Structure 1
Amino acid sequence: MATIAPVLHSATFDSDLQFQYRQDHWMQNVRYALAVDCDSTWIKSPADAETLRQNCKIVYGHVAIGPFTDNVTVQHINLDGVEVIAGTLGAGPTRNNDQPYYTLSSSTLRKADAIEFGVRDSKIRNLTLPSLTSVNDRFEVGRYAYDLNYLDITSFESAYTFTLGPPNLTTLHHTRLRNTTDMDLLSIKIDSIDSLTDNQLNLSRAWINGPFPNINNILIGFKSVESLRVYDNSSVTLGGSSTTEMSIDELVLTGGVTDIKRSSQIDSLNVDSLKLRSDVSIIHLELLSIKDMRPIMKDITLPPKAMNWTGGFEIEIYYATALNLTSIYGSDDQGNQIQTWYWPRNVSSIQLGEINIGSDFFDPFIAQQKEALNNQSGPSVLTTFRVLPSRNSTNFDCTPFIELKNMGRLASNISFECYNATSGAVSAQITNPFTFIGALLGTGFWMP
């Protein structure tokens, strides 16, 4: 059995590995005496795997699978007996087109420094590691594992980064993730990714990049994530089976996402920035504030709970030419008129441009602002107010907003711009001119 110098990734021992290293270090000398090497190793045949698993409970280095010396149609590599790999378990450094397909299994492996298959072309078909609980660094079974269709990581819970993307993966055995920082999910054919996304994780980044042809809804149960990107032609639900609070710094939806929903059991949802790319298929949005809207959007809804939102509601919508903001009322599925928009009592920014807008849409907001003046309470003074109706608008008057500005609710030092729909004339000019076209837009919403 040949050996190689550690070249994939330097091992970093956690406390458990350190304990086992000290406990079993004396065994290493015995193995050397028996001509068995438990350091970094190439597995080039089932016989190599047999030698390793019969003699090495702990491998003090990397284990590379292939290339194989025998061109049998399918090689079956069994590492039962190996419990810890203090290095990377992964595909060997080369691949020839005439290399055989192979399967890899270990019912005993519990820990490794890293798992790495499919980073480059690989012929692995089946990866079975049901007892693996964690890796110190990365778990990556990537897009170049074209032939992998079965993955069993039933007990796996922890990795610094987690990447999964074999394009022909149809079977995944997995329970849940408890700890990871970065997540990349690529196009796969399994019928659920809930065991990966429906977990109360605190992530810096989660990119869910489909398409996932066998999934109709992606359930997001993270507790917090700085950057969440979903690329798929399915719906997205914010709030998992046990999520009560969720915070997202930036949410990007693209790839034909058909709907975004909020779970009924989530109590607090905070998304600082929502970006809908031009290829989304959402026709109705029932949630929040929006950034970078596109013409396909026809209506939006804020539920009655919006009146209790805290933190300062910001609404920014531009160039949504199919959107109608002429009234707070709409129709239900039976054609009955219902109230579909409830203005929050704590509004900090309004920016609307090139949308069909009517004065009636703002009546409750104006009433709230004037009531707040009389009671010395209510919403904070807006930091930004810009409303530029589209040419289709016929009933929007800036006069009430000029009055609010003069009364101190839209303070004179803020960015203020308002155009009358009938005349198109500028009713009030901003202190610092703002150009809607090409502007970098931001949005936020807070829900208690």
Structure 2
Amino acid sequence: MFNKILIANRGEIAVRIIRACKTLGIKTVSVYSKVDENSLHTVLADEKICIGEANPRESYLDMSKIVSAAIVTKSDAIHPGFGFLSEKSEFVELCKSQNIKFIGPDSKIIDAMGNKSKARNTMIEAGVPVVPGSKAPIYISEDGKKIADEIGYPVIVKASSGGGGKGMRIVEKEEDFETLFNLAQIESVNAFNDDTMYVEKYIKNPKHIEVQILGDSYGNVIHLGERDCSIQRNHQKMIEESPSPVIDEITRKKLGNMAVKAAKAVNYENAGTIEFLMDEDLNFYFIEMNTRIQVEHPVTEMVTGVDLIKEQIKIAYGETLSLTQDDVKIKGHAIECRINAENPANNFLPCPGEITSLNLPGGNGVRVDTFIYCGYKIPMNYDSMICKIIVHGCNRSEAIEKMKIALDELVVSGIETNANFQYSLMNNPVYVQGKADTGFIEELL
């Protein structure tokens, strides 16, 4: 097994990885920016090393600094977590050149699935259903409009290298296509330095369903059930749960089989997620693959009992999967709420600052993934998520009740959070009935 792993990330995911490493007897190294010197992940790791200024480009996104830190600390491997460099193929190659194991898929897989138009074509060839749309990359609005006119409006224009809602525009009418295409393309260039776009049919207010998969280097691939991630604001997930409240067993089996089929089509290795859109008739369509661990991975862990971070590490070390598809059993229901330092009453404006008092919820079936503590100062330079509350119940109703209790127990003073807003969602009849789709939050607001 690896002797030492460097965690190329921060916040709760860095803490999560450190804990998984400890259970495997692996030493850890935390990297941190100057404003993160007192963050919890720097305290829990065996070693820590500063890699630069608060700006992510000067620290967490600086590949050479992170690899240098791994070399200096004699780390065998690097775990990227999610975000930052987790899906950067150049980083994978740099690690490889220094004989440092990247805990994730090969760079070729990241490139193949990171380009959404290429991934789409790969899935079509593999027989995985996709949303009707363009097959070739699009660079000018005239070409995109021809596709849109063929498949019919509304359509959605997307950046091939996109993510997090960047480089996306919904086009309802033919006369708006050129303007909105150009706006999306400009946003893509600014965010990803890539002007490659694609166009597909827009499915109004679908369910967003994703399937967790694991694959080893010996061709074994399994899925661990689905997650329903339909509760979103500006394409950013807020609440995730497993299993989905609307999917029947026949559809669930089809989804899992298609996810495995998609992963095998690219010889996938390590943890990944196949994401689908599902319409009201339970027809589902591939939209993308995330070649990393997801923020919402704990809900899968709660219903399967599988430690996904440990599996990632063991796969990267060259071990075979520790379980087969028949070993995967979904038990009960899990829900995750993302707690962000933001003010819902002020258009969800980020709210950095010092935490003056803190009480985290607990109890049977309650898990909290966080990096905050009383006296901690939340910096303004990074994502506003400060905490994830995950609950597990014997069924969905019990899980919802546990989440309401957990949110009620949560106290974070000194800053604003979205906890009360999340509590209101737990009481919303549309959510309680499992009818919420991706347009739910916008309609509610």
Based on CA coordinates, which of the two structures has the bigger radius of gyration?
Answer: 1
Q: Bin the TM-score by the shorter chain.
A: under 0.3
Scaled by the length of structure 1, the TM-score of the pair is 0.24
Going by fraction, where is helix more abundant, 1 or 2?
A: 2
Q: Which has the higher contact order (CA 8 A, sep 6+)?
A: 2
Going by fraction, where is strand more abundant, 1 or 2?
A: 1
